[in-house]
């Protein structure tokens, strides 16, 4: 079967409402990621928020996050992720969940 996605990822994420908070609710310690061998977060995050950098680390932006928990559940290294919920009322708002 095909491996393509039928809609550009940005367009996909445009369908979701986010009330972005000032505080980042997830923080990635790229130094820890550099020694990570799986980089499991990169493919598994349904919002595609983990971008590998050329120096072996991770660039992360919290703004369009589903708050699903996938990343910390599959994360390969202790201490790489600080994961909390966004402050009350902020973050993702599903209408057709």
SS (H, E, C) 27-65: EECHHHHCCCCCCHHHHHCCCCCEEECCCCCEEECCCCC
Out of 20, 31, 53, 72, point to the residue binding other proteins (CB under 8 A): 72
| Spatial contact of 89 and 19, defined as CB atoms under 8 Å apart | yes
Binding mask 16-45 for other proteins (x = CB under 8 A): x--x------------------x-x--xx-
Summarize as ranges the residues that interact with other proteins (CB under 8 A). 1-7, 9, 11-13, 15-16, 19, 38, 40, 43-44, 46-48, 66-70, 72-75, 84-89, 91-97
């Amino acid at each position: 079967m095909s491996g393509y996605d039928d809609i550009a990822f940005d367009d996909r994420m445009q369908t979701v409402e986010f009330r972005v908070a000032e505080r980042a609710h997830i923080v990635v310690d790229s130094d820890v990621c550099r020694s990570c061998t799986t980089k499991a977060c990169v493919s598994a995050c349904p919002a595609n928020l983990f971008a590998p950098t050329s120096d072996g680390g991770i660039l992360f932006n919290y703004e369009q996050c589903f708050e699903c928990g996938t990343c910390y559940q599959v994360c390969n290294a202790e201490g790489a992720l600080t994961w909390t919920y966004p402050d009350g009322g902020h973050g993702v708002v599903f209408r057709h969940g």
